[in-house]
Structure 1
Amino acid sequence: MFVVATAGHVDHGKSTLVRALTGMEPDRWAEERRRGMTIDLGFAWTTLPTGATVAFVDVPGHERFVPNMLAGVGPVPAALVVVAADEGWMPQSTEHLAALDALGVAYGLLVVTRADLADPGPALATGRQRVAATSLGTVDAVAVSAVTGAGLPELRTALDRLAARLPAPAVDAPVRLWVDRTFTVRGSGTVVTGTLGAGRLRVDDELEIAGTGEPVRVRGLHSLGVAHAEVAAVARVAVNLRGTPRDALGRGDALLTPGRFGRTDLLDVRLAGDPAADLPATLMLHVGSAAVAARVRPLGPDTARLRLARPLPLLVGDRALLRDPGRHHVAGGVTVLDVAPPPLSRRGAAAARATVLSLLDGRPDLPGELRRRRLVRAGDLTRMGVPVHGRPVTGDWYADPDHWRDLGDRLAREVARHAGAHPLEPGAPVEVLRQRLDLPDRALVEALVRPPLRLHAGRVTATAGDALPEPVARAVARLRAAYAEQPFRAPEAAHLADLGLGPREIGAAVRAGALLKLADNVVLPPGAVDDALRVLAALPQPFTLSAARQALGTTRRVAVPLLELLDRRGATRRLPDDARVVVRS
C-alpha cells in the first residue's frame, strides 16, 4: 500500500475525484455531503492496474479547515495536487502547495479536474510551473473528468508510476503514529486512525500515548477495512486500544514505541521561507497531525528557537511548517535541528548558538552530537533520533573523545591537588572528584581512572602520591630506630603520640606500607610478620601463647593479635587446647 493526500482549493473536485477512482464515499459526515465540501479528513482506497493499493487521505480545501488539511498531509509521503479546469489556480491552491513544500513532500501528481467543463491546458500549464518550483519538482500531470471518466485510466497509470518511485519505508523503525481521528466502536472501545509512515504494529503491542506517557495495548488492527494481526508501513491503519477511554487522546497526539521518543517543548530549527527576523512572535507549528502554538525567537538569518505550548515527540530531522492563521499564510518550512537545546542565559549565548546551528543540516550525527554535548546517555541520543553505535565509555554513557581525554587529564590534576591539601587521606573521594569535574555520574569518574591512578574503596590515588608526607616519614623512621633491637615491642599510644604518630598519621603510614597495624594503637614494622614466623618455627611444636610471647620478646597485647593474624593467613593453626603449630614458614 502507499498513501496519497489530496491538496487543492475548496470545491475543486478532490472528493469527487477520489470517489470516481475508488467507488467509495470519502466524505464522513452528513454535513459534508449536504454542503458539498470536505470539512474533516476522509479516507478511501483502490487497487491500481499493477495490483498496488493506494489509499487516499482526502483533505478539506476551505481556508477555515486548513488545520484539518495539514493534519492529513503531515504524515503522508505523497500528494495529489488538484486544480479545477474551469476555475484555475486559486488562493487555497497556493496555500496547500506552500504547505506541501514546507513539509518537504517530494512525491506527487498534478491533476486538473472538470476537463469536461473547460480547456484544461491553462490550468495544466500554471500548475506545472507552480509545482515545479517546490519540493515536488517536476511531476506527471493528468487532466480528468470524474463525470465522463476521461483521463481516469491515465491517472491510474500515473499513480502506479508514482508508487514505483516512492522510497521503501523503514519497517524496522520505531512507531510514531500521529492520530488524526478518535472514535469508539460498540463492544470494542476506543479506536484511533492515522498513517503509519514507519515501523510495524502488531496486536498486543504495548505503546505509549505521547501526551501523557501512559502505556496502552493494541487490542486489534484494521487496515482498509480488514482486520490484521500485523500492519507494516506505509499504511492507513485503525488501532483498537484495550481499556483506553476515548478522551485519553485525540487528533495531534501520537502512539509511540516505548522509550524511543522524547517529548520536547523547546527546539532549535532551520527555517525555509520567510526570514527569521520577519516572523511574528507567535505562530502555529504543524507537524504530523498536531497543531501547536509556538513562540518564535530568531537566532540567525534562517534559524530560530521555538517554545511550544505543549511537548511533542519530535526527532532531529523532522519536517514541520509554521503558519500564521491570522494572515492565512504559511510562513515557511521547519527542519528540526535540536530537540534538547542548551539554555541561552548568558550574554552572547544566542549569537554563539546561531553559529553552531548554521553548521547543522538536520541529519542525525553521533560524532557531532557528542562534540556539542560532550557527555550523553545512549537512551537520550535514541530519543533525539540519533543512531547510537560504537562502545560507550562506561554503562550507557557516550563521550566526545577529545573531551574524555581532557577529563582524564583534569582528574589526575584534581587527585594531585587533593593529595597536596589532604596528605594524610587515602586518596580523593570519588564523589568529591565528581563534583570538581562537574560530572553527572560517579561511574564516569571511576571509568576515567587509569594508571598511575588507582581506585580503592571509593577513593582515587596516584602511585606517585603514595609517598609519606615528610613529617610522618621522619616519625616512622624514629619509631623503627627506637625499636630496632626489640621489633616486636609495639609502643604504647602515648609514645606514638610523642613521636608525632596520631591515628591519621598511622593510617597514612599503614596505607603506604611503612607500618603494620595489628589492632588499635598496636603497630609493628612491615616485615614483622615474616620475622615472627621464623622465630615461631624454631620453637618446639606445638607451642603456647606464653612460649610465643617469650620467644618474640613482647607482651600479650602484641602477641595475641599477631598470632591471630598468622592464623588468618594460614601460616599457623590453632589446636583445640589453644596451642598452635606452624604450618608453613
Structure 2
Amino acid sequence: MHVVATAGHVDHGKSTLVKALTGADPDRLAEEQRRGLTIELGYCWTSWPGVGEVAFVDVPGHERFLTTMLAGVGPVPAALFVVAADDPWMPQAAEHLAALDALGVRHAVVAVTRADLADPGPAAARAAAEVARTGLVGAPVVAVSGHTGEGLDDLRAALATTVAALPDPDPDADVRLWVDRRFTVRGAGTVVTGTLPAGTVRVGDTLALGDTPLRVRGVQALGRDREAVSGVARVALNVAGRIDDLVRGSVLVTPGAWHHTSVMDVRITGSDRPPVSPVLHVGAADVGVRCRPLGDDLVRLTLDRPLPLRIGDRALLRDPGRRMIWRADVLDPDPPRLRRRGAAARRARRLAGADGTPHLADELGRRGLLHQDRLRQLGIPRQEGDHLVVGPWLVAPAFAKAVADRLPALVEEHARAHPLDPAVPLTVLASQLRLPAPDLVRALVRPPLRVVGGRVVGPGADVLPSDVRKAVDAVRRDLLAAPFVAPTADRLRELGLDDRALGAAHRSGQLWRVAPGIVLLPDAGDAAVARLRELEQPFTTSAARERLQTTRRVVLPLLDQLDQAGRTRRLADDRREVAR
C-alpha cells in the first residue's frame, strides 16, 4: 500500500481532487459538507494498475486546523501539494510547504487545481519556485481540474511515479503507530486509526501505550478485515485494555522496543531562534515543550509528556503566535543532565558532529557505555568495533581506560582508611564510579589490582599491620602445637585480635576463619580430612571430635565447612563419611 497526504491552503480543492482520483468523498462529517471545508482528517483509497493500493489522507487547509493537518501529514512519506490557479500564493500554502519540508517529506507532486477557471501557468510557476527552495525540489507540477477531469490522467501518472520511488519499509521493524483518530464501533469497542510507517501489526498482538499493554482484537486496512498489515499502510485497530488515556496523538508501540523520553537534544533549522515554549509536532502528536539553547543551532527540549523517539527522528517546532516553523532533528532522546555551569556549552561541543544518523562508535564515545536493550530503543545499529562487551553492556575504549585509571587510587584510599580490611567490594566501587553493574568494575580491573571473592585488592593487601602480624604469629605457634584447638575468646582478646583483625588474617592467608571467633591454620582442612579418613566410615561427630582432639565448639563448624566444600558428606542419620 502507498499512502499520500494532501496539503495546501483552505478551499483550494484538495478534497475535490481526492474525490476525483478515488471516487469517494473524504469529507465524512455533515459539518464539513455543510461548510465546504475539511475539519477532521479524511481518508479515501483506490487501486491503480501497476501501482496497487493508494490511500489518501486529506487534511484541513484552514489555519485554525493546522494541528490536525500536521497530525495527518506527520507519519506519511509522500504528499500531494495543492494550489489553486485562480488564487494568489497564500500564507497557509507557505506554512503547509514549510511543514512538509521540516518533517522531511521528500516525495511530492504539486497539483495546480481549477485549471478550467484560470490560466494555471502563473500559479504553477510560483509553486515551482517556492518548492525549489525546499527539500521537495524537483517535484512535478501538474495542472488539473477536479470538476472537468482535465489533467487527471497526468496527475495519476505523476503520483504513480512518485510512490513507486518510495523506499520499501522494513516489515520486521518495531511498530510505532501515531493515533490520529479514536472512536467507538457498536459491538466491537474502541477503534483507533493511523498511518503505520513500518513494521507489521497482527490480530492478537500486544502493543504498548506507555506502560499500558493493549491487545489488538482486529485489524482493518482500506475497509477490509486483515489478519496482518505491514507498513506503509493506513490501518484501523480494534484494541482492548485500559484505554482511558488513548486519544489522538497517542502512540502505540512494540513493547520494550522504544525509549519514551521527556528530554531530548535536537538540531534546529530555521531563520530565527524558537521561543521558550513552542509546540512540538511529531507523528500525529503535538506537545508543549520548553526550549533551552545549547549553542548555535542546538537546543534541549523538555516535553510536557513523554514520547517514543529515536535518534534521527524528524519533528517540527511551531510558534503559533508568529506562525513560524523550525525543523528539529533528534540527535539524542536520552541526554545526560546538565549539572554544572558551562554544561550546556560542553554538551554543544559534544554534539557538534552529530547529524542524526546513529553510529554505535559515536554514541558510545558520547555516552561511555550502553546497555544492549537501549541500543534498540534509541535506534542504534549493533556494529563491530573496538568497544568492550561486558554481559549486556557495551563500553567505549576511552571510558574503559578512564575507569581503569581511577581504580588504583580508589582502592588505595580505601586501604588507608581500612588497614585491616583493604579489599574494596565491587559494589562499593561501582557506586563510587557511578557504574550500573559490579561486573563492569570486575572487567575493568588491571594488574597489579586483582579481584578476590567479589572484592578488589591492591598489591599490598595481604600485608598485615605489625601489631596484628605479631598476634597472628602467636596464634599460629599455638596451633602448630595443637592444630585443632582453636584459641578461646579470652586468648584472642588477650592478643588484641577482634573480628576485623581475624578477617584480615583470613584474607591474607595467615589463618583460616572457620566461623566467627574460630580460627585454625590455613591447611587445617587437609589435615582434618587425612585424620578423618583413618576412622571407620561412616563416623559420628563424637568420633571426629576425639580423632581431631578438639571440642564440639570447633568440630561442628569445621565439619560444616568440609561438608560445604564437598570433602565430607553428611548422611541421613547425622553421621558422615569422607568423600572419595
- Normalising TM by the smaller chain, what interval? 0.7 to 0.9
Conserved 8 A contact 1:3-1:77: yes
How far did residue 492 of structure 1 move? Answer: 5.2
Q: What is the deviation of 1:537?
A: 9.5
Distance 1:330 1:2 in 2: 30
8 Å CA contact 1:6–1:80 kept in 2: the answer is: yes
- For residue 535 of structure 1, report the CA deviation from its aligned partner: 8.8
Residues 76-113 of structure 1, C-alpha deviation per residue, up to 9 Å, x if partnerless?
10111111112242221111111111111100111111
Is 1:371 the counterpart of 2:369 in the alignment? no
Asked if the contact 1:454/1:461 (under 8 Å) is kept, the reply is: yes
From 221, 224, 237, give the equivalent of 1:223: 221
Aligned equivalent of 2:418: 422
Q: By how many angstroms is 1:354 displaced?
A: 2.1
Partner residue of 1:336?
330
Judged with a 3 Å threshold, the aligned counterparts in structure 2 of structure 1 residues 583 and 304 are, in CA distance, closer, same or farther, namely closer
Specify the alignment match of 1:346 in structure 2: 340
For residues 579 and 243 of structure 1, do their structure 2 counterparts lie closer, same or farther at Cα, with a shift above 3 Å needed? closer
Per-residue deviation at 1:301? 2.1
Larger radius of gyration: 1
**CA deviation after TM superposition for structure 1 residue 392, in Å:** 7.2
Instruction: With the length of structure 1 as denominator, give the TM-score of the two structures.
Output: 0.87
Q: 2 CA distance for matches of 1:158 and 1:581?
A: 90
Secondary structure of the residue that 2:192 maps to in structure 1? strand
Structure 1 window deviating more from structure 2 (227-236 vs 403-412): it is: 403-412
The answer to whether the 8 A contact 1:518-1:561 is kept is no
- Residue number among 380, 384, 387 corresponding to 2:378 in the alignment: 384
Stretch of structure 1 that moved more, 525-534 or 377-386: 525-534
Over 3 Å counting, the alpha-carbon distance change for 1:464 and 1:290 in structure 2 is same
Query: 1:435 deviation in Å?
Result: 2.6
- Judged with a 3 Å threshold, the aligned counterparts in structure 2 of structure 1 residues 18 and 458 are, in CA distance, closer, same or farther, namely same
Structure 1 position 82 matched with structure 2 position 82: yes
**Conservation of the 8 A alpha-carbon contact between 1:102 and 1:333:** yes
Contact 2:77/2:107 (8 A) holds in 1? yes
Q: What is the identity percentage for the equivalent residue pairs of Structure 1 and Structure 2?
A: 55
1: CA distance between counterparts of 2:239 and 2:545? 82
The number of aligned residues is: 575
Letter of the 1:262 partner, please give it. H
Q: TM-score, normalised by structure 2?
A: 0.88
Report the Cα distance in structure 1 between the residues aligned to 2:439 and 2:326, rounded to whole angstroms.
45
Deviation at 1:163, TM superposition (A): 1.7
Q: Distance in 1 between matches of 2:380 and 2:44?
A: 35
Verify: 1:318 aligned to 2:313, yes or no.
yes
Equivalent-residue separation in structure 2 for 1:249 and 1:528 (angstroms): 69
Matched, 1:52 2:46: no
User: What's the C-alpha RMSD, in Å, of the aligned pairs?
Assistant: 3.7
Greater Cα offset, 465-474 or 541-550: 541-550
Aligned counterpart, 1:29? 29
1:357 corresponds in structure 2 to 351
Distance 1:426 1:155, change over 3 A: same
Shift of 1:374: 2.0
Q: 1:474 to 1:120 in 2, by over 3 A?
A: same
8 Å CA contact 1:453, 1:460 repeated in 2:
yes
Contact 1:283 1:293 in 2 (8 A): yes
1:282 is matched by which residue type in structure 2? S
Q: Would the alpha carbon gap of residues 461 and 80 (structure 1) be closer, same or farther in structure 2, given more than 3 Å must change?
A: same
Residues of 2 paired with 1:2 and 1:473: CA distance? 82
Q: Does 1:264 pair with 2:300?
A: no
Greater Cα shift, 495-504 or 314-323: 495-504
Match of 1:174 in 2: 174
Secondary structure of the corresponding residue to residue 192 of structure 1: strand
Asked if 1 retains the 8 angstrom alpha-carbon contact of 2:414 and 2:422, the reply is no
Verify the 8 A CA contact 1:428 1:460 in the aligned structure 2. yes
Return closer, same or farther for 1:507/1:243 CA change in 2, 3 Å cut-off: closer
The SS at the match of 1:129 is helix
- Greater CA drift, 192-201 or 387-396: 387-396
Instruction: Give, in whole Å, the separation in 1 of the partners of 2:241 and 2:570.
Output: 70
Q: Which residue of structure 1 aligns with residue 236 of structure 2?
A: 238
CA distance in structure 2 between the partners assigned to 1:500 and 1:17 by the alignment: 97
Query: Hey, what's the Cα distance between the residues in 2 that align with 1:130 and 1:457?
Result: 70
Distance 2:224 2:428 in 1: 62
Provide the rounded CA distance (Å) in 2 between the counterparts of 1:141 and 1:451: 70
C-alpha contact (below 8 Å) 2:280/2:286 kept by paired residues: yes
How do 1:116-195 and structure 2 match up within 5 A? 116-195=116-195
Q: Unaligned 5+ residue runs, structure 1?
A: none
SS in 2 for 1:358: coil
Match of 1:208 in 2: 208
Give 1:405-484 correspondences, 5 Å limit.
405-425=401-421, 427-449=423-445, 453-462=449-458, 464-480=460-476
Cα distance in 1 for partners of 2:346, 2:519 equals 61
With over 3 angstroms needed to count, the CA separation of the structure-2 counterparts of 1:393 and 1:412, relative to structure 1, is: farther
